[in-house]
Amino acid sequence: MNVMAPRPAVSHAEMANAIRFLAVDAVEKAKSGHPGMPMGMADVATVLFTKFLKFDPQAAHWPDRDRFVLSAGHGSMLLYALLHLTGYPDMTIEEIKRFRQLGSKTAGHPEYGHALGIETTAGPLGQGLATSVGMAIAEKALAARYPGLVDHHTFVIAGDGCLMEGVSHEAIDLAGCLGLAKLIVLWDDNQITIDGSTALSTHLDQRARFAAAGWHTIAVDGHDPVAVEAAIDEAKRQDRPTMIACRTVIGFGAPNKQGTEATHGAPLGAAEVEAARANLGWTAPPFEIPADILAAWRAAGTRSRAARLAWEDRLKANQDRAQFEAAISGDLPASFAERFAAYKADLVAKAPNVASRKSSEMALEVINAAIETTLGGSADLTHSNLTITKGLKSLTAGDFSGRYVRYGIREFGMSTAMNGIALHGGFIPYGGTFFVFSDYARGGIRLSALMGLRVIYVLTHDSIGLGEDGPTHQPVEHLAMLRATPNLHVFRPCDAVETAECWELALGSKDAPSALVLSRQNLPTVRTSSAVNESGRGAYVLSADEGARDVTVLATGSEVAIAIEAAKTLRAAGKRVAVVSMPSWDLFEAQSPEYRAEVLGTAPRIAIEAAARLGWDRWIGERGVFIGMKGFGASAPAPELYRHFGITADAIVEAANALTA
């Protein structure tokens, strides 16, 4: 009898080629995409997913899983191929075939929430790497609280573009300072960008840069699986973060295009696809994975299942289980609402005359005492933003038991790190800077909104009211910029009560970030009741006379007090006036048309805000008047600036008289 010899075990090369050709075929079918990076990093990714990464596709949200971040998001088919091959239930071959098509889970760049296993939205280069720092911060801080339940790594694949972007410097410096040993970055060192060789635009020694920031660094041949395995094993034994420089060939296997920019952002073309198949010995038709190779990949997907089940047993037996699960869920303590309601009532009774940044600090004293999962911070403006409260200890490399992050002068890095903290779970991040520097944080704020994350931005010194620092520090166009961002709650409260209400709304917003825009100058308390969170409706009538209105004055923040002063003068002259506070345009827009019409009324409207006009015409209409900034500010004491730029009660009175003449 003839006995057929058993087929040899599936090789590393075969498993890596499964990634390559899923990527190649998907890009070819879509006639769009980036095949070069998945082809070049397939060997590295195969080693990582089959030998190191702790994950379970059947429990994709397992809290103690390793996090994998594809910072080089243009190579999204690398991630989608890995998710399909390892058995994530929603990443079917049909989804792979629908790459870059409307409604598919396989968007052009990975999008958080579209499919299981996508840990963050990536695409704007550098942000994935920077977000991973936040994930590693959250892991280390949770591990300090729950040592038996939290012990995992964050792995990142980053490209040359990620390392060229400035946010990478902010991120790696912070990671090195905090000693984030469980952060491992695999750099796709292929020396190619869209324009061609990296030598066209950089001669930077990246390993030296990471080393200078306090990282351990290793260099390997990215196509040598034994070397890659040894490097990752070495990285996991370090007491500091590690960068592994993986020298690869972009488009590996495409005989006529590999190693060139031609493979970066365009399909290979039918002829080159066939040549690559022949070159790598891949005979399977498009979108088909030989059964034994797929079985080997699916086995890799179950490799950590026993570890996950053992972890679940530990969780059941852990005395801190309820506290841990509450932290991961992100729910606020049941007692918080009552405690905060009492605080707001006390504000009404005491009517403090304080800056809204101070009101924010006062609210945070209550919040941080009641909610143990807040994780605060500031971009080196702690005592200007007033973001730290009594008893909040700073995180340091040797002690992560605290709840305050010293982000340094890194606004962009702070915003992206907070995204990572929110994505990881276990904490509610908030961080402060001057409002004008939201420009620097803009990229991270946008991804907070795009991913629907509860990240809270404390943005102080909100207008020309900051005074002598001058126009470089006086935000003018920034409210319009943030208000134009979808799924971002922008709050500009007028007093201590509204500030507390806005904090309450931000904490309750699990699916959208919030920006609290706060004053430097003192503001009187104008609210006389806290029974209803009026800020939750976006805008409301703060005061109004009986009968038909002669004029409606709309205002936000520090200008509400000016509107109230003008109303007194107008009422003394026999005018019927309504003053409307508008702390949140987006929440007001979400109200019913009937409510909006009731608040706005039919009388002529005047809007006053120490900012640019853009956007106000939707609320004041064709007959309306806007009182605000027409250009940049100036350096002078705040009261002088308000008079100089005509943002005064007298200006409102003059406009109202003209409208009602």
Spatial distance between the Cα atoms of 479 and 612, rounded to a whole number of angstroms? 8
pLDDT, residue 4, reads: 47
DSSP code per residue over 610-653: EEE-TTTHHHH-TT-EEEEESS---SS-HHHHHHHTT-SHHHHH
Within its chain, how far is the Cα of 398 from the centroid? Answer: 26
- The predicted model gives 435-460 an average pLDDT of 98
521 phi, psi to nearest 5 deg: -85, 155
Q: What are 302-345's pLDDT values in tens digits?
A: 999 999 999 999 999 999 999 999 999 999 999 999 999 999 99
119: pLDDT strictly greater than 70: yes
Report CA-CA distances (Å) from 378 to 189, 409, 414: 33, 9, 8
Any idea which residues carry the catalytic annotation?
A: 411
- Cβ(326)–Cβ(65) under 8 Å? no
Spatial distance between the Cα atoms of 289 and 487, rounded to a whole number of angstroms? 40
Q: What are 278-306's pLDDT values in tens digits?
A: 999 999 999 999 999 999 999 999 999 99
Q: What are 14-34's pLDDT values in tens digits?
A: 999 999 999 999 999 999 999
pLDDT band at 661 (very low <50, low <70, confident <90, very high): confident
pLDDT, residue 1, reads: 41
Domains of the chain listed by start with CATH number: 12-308 (3.40.50.970), 336-523 (3.40.50.970), 537-659 (3.40.50.920)
Strand order in the sheet with 551-555: 540-544, 577-581, 551-555, 605-612, 625-629
DSSP E strand boundaries for 254-349: none
Spatial distance between the Cα atoms of 240 and 177, rounded to a whole number of angstroms? 9
Q: What are 79-94's pLDDT values in tens digits?
A: 999 999 999 999 999 9
Kindly report the average pLDDT of the chain as a whole number: 97
Spatial distance between the Cα atoms of 377 and 372, rounded to a whole number of angstroms? 15
Q: Full-prediction pTM beyond 0.85?
A: yes
3: pLDDT strictly greater than 60: no
6: pLDDT strictly greater than 90: no
pLDDT, residue 622, reads: 86
Residue showing tokens 């190619």? 192
- The predicted model gives 220-236 an average pLDDT of 98
**Terminal Cα distance for the chain, rounded:** 111
% the chain with pLDDT above 90: 98
For residue 299, the one-letter residue type is A
pLDDT, residue 8, reads: 76
- The predicted model gives 23-52 an average pLDDT of 98
Residue 636 is encoded by which pair of tokens? Answer: 């002078």
- The predicted model gives 437-442 an average pLDDT of 98
5: pLDDT strictly greater than 60: no
% the chain with pLDDT above 70: 99
Spatial distance between the Cα atoms of 592 and 325, rounded to a whole number of angstroms? 37
Contacts of 660 (CB under 8 A, 6+ apart): 550, 551, 575, 604
Spatial distance between the Cα atoms of 9 and 646, rounded to a whole number of angstroms? 80
